Structure 1
Amino acid sequence: MTVSPAQAALPQARVLRTEIPGPNSRELQRRRAAAVSTGVSSVLPVFIAEAAGGVLHDVDGNSLIDLGSGIAVTNVGNAAPEVVEPVRRQVGEFTHTCFMVTPYENYLQVCEELAALTPGDHDKRSALFNSGAEAVENAVKIARRATGRQAIVVFDHAYHGRTNLTMALTAKSVPYKHGFGPFAPEIYRVPMSYPARDPRTGEQVAREAIDRIEKQLGADSVAAVLIEPIQGEGGFIEPAAGFLPAISRWCTDNGVLFIADEIQTGFCRTGAWFACDHENVVPDLITTAKGMAGGLPLAAVTGRAELMDAMPPSSLGGTYGGNPVACAAALGAIRAMRERDLATAAREIGDLVFPRLRALAETTDAILDVRGRGAMIGIEFVKPGTAESDPEVTSRIAKACHAQGVVILTCGTYGNVIRLLPPLVIDEALLEEGLTVLEGAIREHIR
């Protein structure tokens, strides 16, 4: 793990000067309550003043260890110089023209990078958007238009966004869907391989999913199968080996598009540029966002040229899609990932974290599973001696870490998974310290 200039400028250490949250954060929280909708929540009501590498400095002078990366966004670390400098230059040149009105080169450069980096050596095209949900929604549009079919197949535990269409694609009801319907039609859900709770092989679970598609829909009505190669919000579920290739082969054999939602897994997070690379799966369409632009809003759909070019002029786009400042950030972030070999850094993080957490799991039956790849790591908690999810203890562990200045996130269909998403540039000693805090919280709160 290498130290970036941004890390050197901001000490990479946990420092607690006040309780968490401190008085300045609490005052800002009072202002927030008077101005911000309660529908927008925060994991930890600590207001940040500076951030770099693996630390977040708050308005009370506390320095927190960041094991969340803004939900897998700041893979290259906050304020990475490779991102900051091109953004400054671009802001000084122009901030917006709308690519659909008068285009600019760095949009093209991002699309060229995506063509080179995403799985497969076929001819590709991309379209740029603002958010992951917007990318997914456009991928569905492209699939339906290109195939002339309507049905979209998704999986148990999936998360694809909060817009109307992506809520329909998302599996979890509360807080994402409850009370917000009716939802977009022609969405069908099938089983996901979940090794911690299902001992079957990937091929066996894929066969069940395919049988259900064929019996309930018929392959000739399916436009696309949409899947996260490793599920994110659903619980960091990595399907058993063979599941993704089997689904992909069935899609190819039946003229169905295979869409990989790599919004959380992409850009070196799992120890490869994309999670599909681990099993040599080549999607027809791939959606990306989060880690692509170092914290600025940018998303993309990248796909086979014949599919992307089947879209009529003006059928894709958006006023801010591929904003030039966000494109400058993406080019800088991609350069940082390549030059600092952050895919290897992610594997090194996994090599450090997994042995510690799995050793801890062997001491208790309150941990069902420690799973993931690279720097995308989940810990699933259950009531001791059972497979019953334990969201209460999961929440208590997370809050204990927050109180000690370590930012961790939870996830899972039943809220019983702690997820770790450290910046890929995090200092090793800082990561070790964060793990020590987490281990202590687990030991204190499990029964």
Structure 2
Amino acid sequence: MFQPELETLPRHQLEALQSERLREQVAYVYERVPFYRRMLDERGLEPSAIKSIQDIHKLPFTRKQDLREAYPFGLFAVPREQIARIHASSGTTGKPTVVGYTKGDLEIFAEVVARSLAAAGGRPGMMLHNAYGYGLFTGGLGLHAGAEKLGMTVVPISGGMTERQVMLIQDFKPEMIACTPSYAQTLAEAFRARGVAPEEISLKYAVLGAEPWTEAVRRSVDEGLGVASTNIYGLSEIIGPGVANEDVNEREGLSYIWEDHFYPEVVDPETGEPLPEGKLGVLVLTNLTKKAMPLLRYWTGDLTFLTREPGPSGRTHARMAQIRGRTDDMLIVRGVNVYPTQIEALLQEIPEVAPHYQIVLSRQGTLDEMELKLEVAEPFFRGLGVPALSEENVEADPRLSHLRERVGRKIKDHVGISVRVTLLSPGTAPRSEGGKLRRVLDLRKQG
């Protein structure tokens, strides 16, 4: 579903379209959403003051707390009776974040997901094994509708039941899978445990998202499943998955944002000031076409950078780097800011370890302690000649003790914090069962 007339618009035409849609959207929410009317009035800002997309910085930010305070339907721009579907976040802290869609919004949702799947290698007639969770989470139904719009056959397997997933992949022979990157790793391990080689698996493409991941994870999925994996990006507050996707023929860690529907900015995490292209900051997104609950300048909390240089495919839409972490995922350990993805990126440079780990934070008295539970790579483990790893054989074996010290030193040198490294046997670190994988266990909060 590559749409040259939209995806390759000359930049000046794209900005003219964005300007027209932004003007309409600001006037629309001012009239229909009391929250935005109040926000603009407090700034003395009339909708008519927004004349082009270049004026977007005049608008206030919208934050997740605003959605929580408006729970459940306070930010809807249409009567509840005109809402065709409601989705919600997991609500891990307090009540969930609720979002709504009109029938027109659902058509846009399907369109941008179809566009993303096409960029990822999907074509009409292919089969999609959809292992995203169905329900209030936007992933399952979002990918489902987009795949159908593209003309694909959908297997709505949802998450979990790994044995059944493996069986159906072997029996149905889908060409594409959609799931979290951590669950793709789980499936790759399940195939390997059954003696099924990557070239024996029918899958050719993997569409991975819903959690930050690294090039090391990409390699492990590509090699384990015999696929070319791409990153799909989205968030329920804006629409769901399908805000952006990598092109399968590029895979440079840069995803095209479908700018005719979502306008991207990157701003300084502290000041909110716009940052130049290539500078890491917080991604801010504005709905240009959504009508049930359009958000202006939504502060995603995701850390990335943008480039508006046209990509090799000829698309002119902005590209964003893979998410480097979230401002609300940042860990403060003994005064040092630590992002889990920082740790993961460093681990990919050490071939003796696998991309399976968990960070455990605890507190001894007034001092924070950080432990990294880390699996060793299968080939390295086989060469050790031991049935399983324990503290005793790690201490006794120079190969293991040296590896542990090397990991700790690398983290200390690059992140600036001392960490206790616990080496684990392959297959013993926590695995995804279909949902987002919990990489951090913060026991300090239990004290």
TM-score, with normalisation over the residues of structure 1?
Answer: 0.30
Instruction: Determine which structure has the larger strand proportion and give its number.
Output: 2
TM-score, with normalisation over the residues of structure 2?
Answer: 0.30
Structure with more relative contact order (C-alpha pairs < 8 Å, separation 6 or more): 1
